[in-house]
Structure 1
C-alpha cells in the first residue's frame, strides 16, 4: 500500500480492506510508519520515537490492524513510558499496566504506533511545553494545533494515523479538532471508562476518547469502546442501536439553540467563527430543523470561579502526589511557571472551597438540563477564534498567576468547558473555513447520554458540508 493510498482512507475503510484480504495489516502499518515519519519532523507531535512494531492488539477486532496513537496523559499502556508533558517525570516512567480504555482500544484491534504530545499536565489550550517543545498545526506551522490533545490532532490531520486517543477536561478533544479540521467528540461522563486510576477525573470534568477525520470513524470507535468496567461510578444505558447506524440513518427534526456569545471566560468571538456557525444554522434550517437564538443562561463569572477551583486542586493533588513518590520538592526546574502558580493556588483551597464549586457545578448542570427540555441541541463555535499563534499560550510566563493563566486559556476557549461540567456530550465538526484557509470548528452539545442524537446530525452535516477533500499544508502522501 502506497502512502497516498493509505492517507486517503479513514479507519473504517482501512479495517474493511484488511478484513477482505485486499491488503494485509502489515502493509497498512508499513504505510503508516512511512506517513508518520514523513510528517513528524514538521509537526513535533511525538514525544518518543515511533514504535518499531505496533503494540499488541486483537487482529479480529472491528478495527483490526488499523494504525493508532495514544496521548501522553492519563490513559496509559503497559510498558510504555509516560511523561505527561512535564519535566517533573524526567524522561518518563514506564507504566505498569493498561488502563481500562487502553485495553478496549487493543480489543478493538487498534495498532498503536506512537505516543503524542501534551502540554504540561494537560492544562493548556495549546500543545507546547518546556519538556517537549511546541507542536505545529499542519495547516500553518506558525499556529497552534490546540490543546491539550494537540499532538494527536496534528498527527491525525496530517494523516499520519487515521485516529488517535485524546482526552478532554475543558475542551481538550474539541479544541484540537477545531484547530486541525477534525471530528472531536467528548462523550458523556461515564460513556468511556476512566478506570482503574480514576473514578471522576478532574472532579468529573475529564473524559477519555479520540480524534478522527470522519463521523463514521468516531461513531464506530465509540461503538467499540464504550461501556462501564467493574467499579466505575456511572452505568449509562446502551444506545438503542449502534452509533454507526445512527450516522447512516440521519437525524429526526430537531429544535436547535444558536449561541455565539462565549459561555465562559473573558474572551470575545471572532467574526469568522460567528459567520461559520450562522452559515451552519442556515443549512440546518434548510434540512427542516428549527434554529433559534438561545443560551442556557449560566453565569460565566461564577462558573469560572468554580472551574478554577477544580483545575488548580486537581493540579496540586497530581503534582504533590508525584513529588512525594519521586522524593523531590517541585520547583521551576520541574514545572512551568503557571503550573507552579496553579499548584500553589490549589494548595490554599479548603474542603469548603471544593464543596462550593460543586454547588456551582450542580446548579449549572440542572440549568442546562432544563434548557434541553426545550432545545434538543446547542449550536456554538467550538473556539473563540479559528486557532492561536504559537507562543500566545505560554505556560512558562512567570507574569501570570493561577487566575491570570486560567483567564488566558479560556479567553480563547469559551465554549467548551460547560459540557465538561455538566457531563453532556459535545462534538466539534470542521464545518467552516477562515480567509486564511484554516478550518473553523462548529460545536454541537446534546443532553446527557444523547450521543445518538448528536452523531445522527453530525452525519447529516458531513454529507451536506463535506470536508474530506480539504487537506493541510503538511500532509502525508
Structure 2
C-alpha cells in the first residue's frame, strides 16, 4: 500500500483490509510513522513519539476489536497510558509517566487502536489554540500555517487532516474537540456527559464540563469508535442514557420523520460573527432542507453569558490549582513557577483566592444551563450554530502572556457557542461542510438532546453524503 492509497481510506476501510489479510499491522504502522515524520512533525503536531517501539509492537500484533491494529494517536492531555507519558503541554509536567492505563486507553486498545505518539495541546489543555512553549513553537494549521490549529486537541486535528491517522483521540472541556475540528476541517463529536469512561483515577473533569472523544475524517469512523468505547466504568458519578445497539449500523437508516432544527441567528452580547461563519451555517441549513428537514431561525436561549464565563473561569482556575499542587506539593514556588506560562501561573494564583462557595455557585450555574437548554430544545431535534465566531485566528492572537481572565474572556468570544454545551452535558459535533474562498475550513455545530449522539451522527452522515468533504483532504497531501 502506498501513502496515496492510505490517504484515500478511513479507519473502517483500513480495518477491513487488515481483516482480509490484504495488509498487515506492520505495513500500516510503517506508513503512519512515515507520514508522521514527513507531514505531522513539520507542523509540530506530535510529541512523545514511540515510533520504533510501536513498529515492533505492530510486527507482532494480533488483530483485535473492530479496528484490528490501526495506527492511532493519544492526545497529550494526561490520559494515563503506561506506554506513553504525558506533558499536558507544560514544562512543569514534562514526560510524566503512568503506572497504569486509564479505562479509556484500555478500551481503545481492545478496539484495535494502537497508539504510537501523543498529539500537541496548549498548557494544561486550557486554551482554544495550541501554542505551548514546551513543544518549542506553535502547532500550525495545515490549511494556512499562519493560523491556529485550534485547541486544545490541536495536534490531533492536524494529524487527522494531514492523513497521518484516520482517527485520533481528543477531549473537550470547553470546545476542545470542536474548535480544532473546525479550524482543521475534520469531524469532531463531543459526546454526552457520562457516555465515555473517565476512570479509574477520576470521575469527572472540570466540574463535569470535560469528556473524551475522537477526531476523524469521516462520520462513520466516529460512529464505529463510539460503538467500541461507550459506557460508564464502575463507580462513575455520571451515566448517559442507553445507547443504540450500533451507531455505525444506524448511519444509513433514514429518519422516520423530518427533523426540526433550530438555527441560532442572534448570539449573546451582540458578539459579531464572521460572515464566512454565517455562510457556513446558511449552507448547512440549505443542505438540511434539501434532505427534507425543517430549519427554523430562532433566538438563542436566554442565558447570562457573562455570568457563565465567570463561572467557567473559576472552575478552570480551581482545577489548575489542583493539577499544579498535586505535582509541586512541598516545593518552593520559586523552584517551579517559571515552568508555567504566564496565563496559567496567573490562573493558579487566582484559583488560590477562591472560596468553596465560589466553586459551588459556579457548578450551580452550569446545572442551570442544563435546565435552560433542555427546556429550550423541546420541539427541536437539533440546534444549528457556527462552531466559531471567527475564522481560525492568527497565531499569537490568543496569547498566554495575558493574565488568565483577559485570556479567557477573549477565548469565550471566539468560542461563543461551544462551552455552554459542556455545561449542559449535551452532545455536539463540528461538521466540516464549508471552506471559504481562501481555502480555510469553517465548521458548523450540531447540538443534540442529552444522549442523542445517534441523531447528530445520522444527520452529519446525511450532510457528508451531500457535500463529500473527504476529497478536500487530498489538497493537503498533494500540495495543491
Give the CA deviation at 1:29: 1.3
Change (3 A) 1:430 1:352: same
SS state of the match for residue 319, structure 1? helix
User: Is residue 381 from structure 1 mapped to residue 386 from structure 2 by the alignment?
Assistant: yes
Match of 2:437 in 1: 435
Equivalence for 1:28: 28
Length, aligned pairs only = 472
Displacement of 1:299: 2.0
Is the alpha carbon distance of 1:58 and 1:301 closer, same or farther for their aligned partners in structure 2, counting shifts above 3 Å? farther
**How far is the alpha carbon of 1:383 from its aligned partner?**
0.8
Question: Matched residues in 1 for 2:32 and 2:262: separation?
Answer: 41
- Residue of structure 2 equivalent to 1:319: 324
Task: Please state whether the residue corresponding to 1:203 is helix, strand or coil.
Answer: helix
Give the deviation of 1:124 after TM superposition. Answer: 0.6
Alignment map for 1:3-152 (pairs within 5 Å): 3-54=3-54, 59-89=63-93, 91-132=94-135, 133-152=137-156
Give unpaired runs (5+ residues) of structure 1: none
1:340-379 matches, within 5 Å, as 340-379=345-384
Q: How far does residue 177 in structure 1 lie from its aligned partner after superposition? A: 0.4
1:204 aligns with 2:208: yes
**C-alpha distance 330-305 of structure 1, shift in aligned 2 (>3 A):** farther
- Unaligned runs of 5+ residues in structure 2 are none
* C-alpha deviation, 1:286, in angstroms: 2.2
Q: Do structure 1's residue 166 and structure 2's residue 190 form an aligned pair?
A: no
**Residues 345-390 of structure 1 deviation map (CA, whole Å, 9 limit, x = unaligned):** 1111111111211221121110001112121111001011221111
The answer to whether the 8 Å contact 1:128/1:135 transfers is yes
Query: Given the alignment, which residue of 229, 236, 250 partners 2:233?
Result: 229
| Alignment root-mean-square deviation, CA | 1.8
Separation of aligned partners in 1, 2:29 and 2:103: 24
2:48–2:86: 8 Å Cα contact kept in structure 1? Answer: no
Cα displacement (A) at 1:278: 1.2
Residue deviations 1:209-263 (CA, integer Å, cap 9, x gap): 1100000000000001001111111233432331012212143411111014445
**Alpha-carbon contact 1:433-1:440 (below 8 Å) kept:** yes
TM-score of the two chains, using structure 2 as the length reference? 0.94
Counterparts in 2 of 1:430 and 1:164: CA distance versus 1, 3 Å: same
For 2:478 and 2:74, how far apart are their aligned partners in 1?
Answer: 19
Q: Is the 8 A contact 1:42 1:474 kept in 2?
A: no
Q: Which has the higher contact order (CA 8 A, sep 6+)?
A: 1
Q: Which deviates the most, 53-62 or 65-74?
A: 53-62
Task: Tell me, yes or no, if the aligned pair for 2:193 and 2:239 is still in contact at 8 Å.
Answer: no
Q: Does 1:254 align with 2:259?
A: yes
Of the candidates 224, 236, 239, which is equivalent to residue 243 of structure 2?
Answer: 239
- Is contact 2:382-2:447 (8 Å) kept? yes
1:327 to partner: Cα distance: 6.7
1:185 aligned counterpart, secondary structure: strand
Pair 1:379–1:331, CA change in 2 (3 A): same
Partner of 1:304: 309
Higher mean alpha-carbon deviation, 102-111 vs 33-42, is at 33-42
TM-superposed deviation, 1:267: 4.4
1:419-440 residue CA offsets vs partner (Å, 9 max, x unmatched): 1001000000001111210111
Cα displacement (A) at 1:25:
1.6
Of the three residues 343, 366, 372, the one matched with 1:338 is: 343
For residue 92 of structure 2, give the secondary structure of its aligned residue in structure 1: helix
Instruction: Decide which structure has greater helix share.
Output: 2
